[in-house]
């Protein structure tokens, strides 16, 4: 029988139902899906749908440790593969904030060649990810969130990380890690994926907004 991940990938998503399900995500990720610039929650808006599906399925299957998300992804809350596909499609369609939390400016030039050498083959020249391979889009992601995920991969806490990436990360010095993530955090999403100035999610107009 196909895994829940494979089943969800094959579903035709119902974005309207995804909008309803997204109300469960707002408390942490915000109505726009932009997370927090301090890295406590990632920007999920605009992420590739296949990546969202994989992460949700992995958390449910226990392949990625995340106690808070484990509760929100339980079958009692999120249902089955159809609901996963619906939610992923809605999130993927949200415009992204260009005002993500960023690393130190002075490390950007140093991080660029590290990214080109070690990361671009998988994540893309512009950190656009790969939907077919379920590799995350990194554009516009919060610097401190990426640092935390680097550390989780380094220590084995994020069990669903690609083995090649795990090996690479373990070879990075802390300075190299800070540099490459600073560089990535300064890569903006393309104009067509960015939210216009002042945009707020019209699907949830009454939800209070926390400072980014």
pLDDT the model gives residue 136: 97
Residue with tokens 């945009």: 199
Q: Which residues of the chain have pLDDT under 50?
A: none
The conformation of residue 145, written as its DSSP 8-state character, comes to H
Task: Residue 137: name the closest of 5, 38, 22, 45 by CA.
Answer: 45
User: pLDDT of 26-72, one tens digit each?
Assistant: 999 999 999 999 999 999 999 999 999 999 999 888 888 888 888 88
Alpha carbons 113 and 140: distance in angstroms, whole number:
19
Structural domains of the chain, with CATH: 4-92 (1.10.760.10), 105-192 (1.10.760.10)
What predicted TM-score, i.e. pTM, was given to this entire model?
Answer: 0.95
Q: Which residues contact 150 (CB under 8 A, 6 or more apart)?
A: 169, 172, 177, 181
pLDDT the model gives residue 165: 86
pLDDT the model gives residue 212: 66
pLDDT the model gives residue 2: 82
Burial of 100 (0-12, 13-18, 19+ CB in 10 A): buried
pLDDT the model gives residue 31: 97
Alpha carbons 33 and 46: distance in angstroms, whole number:
9
Q: What is the helix (H) or strand (E) element at residue 106, kind and residue range?
A: none
């Amino acid at each position: 029988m196909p895994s829940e991940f494979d089943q969800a990938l094959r579903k035709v998503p119902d974005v309207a139902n995804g909008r309803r399900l997204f109300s469960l995500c707002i408390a942490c990720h915000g109505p726009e899906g932009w997370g927090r610039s301090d890295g406590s929650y990632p920007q999920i808006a605009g992420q590739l749908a296949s990546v969202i599906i994989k992460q949700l399925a992995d958390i449910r299957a226990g392949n990625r440790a995340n106690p808070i998300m484990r509760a929100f992804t339980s079958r009692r809350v999120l249902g089955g593969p159809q609901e996963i596909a619906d939610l992923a499609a809605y999130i993927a369609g949200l415009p992204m904030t260009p005002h993500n939390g960023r690393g130190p400016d002075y490390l950007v030039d140093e991080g660029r060649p590290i990214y080109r050498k070690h990361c671009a083959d998988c994540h893309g020249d512009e950190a656009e990810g790969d939907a077919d391979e379920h590799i995350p889009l990194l554009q516009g992601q919060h610097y401190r969130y990426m640092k935390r995920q680097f550390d989780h991969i380094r220590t084995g806490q994020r069990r669903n990380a690609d083995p090649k990436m795990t090996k690479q990360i373990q070879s990075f010095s802390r300075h190299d890690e800070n540099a490459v993530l600073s560089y990535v955090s300064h890569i903006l999403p393309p104009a067509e994926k960015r939210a216009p100035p002042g945009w707020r999610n019209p699907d949830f107009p009454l939800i209070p907004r926390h400072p980014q």
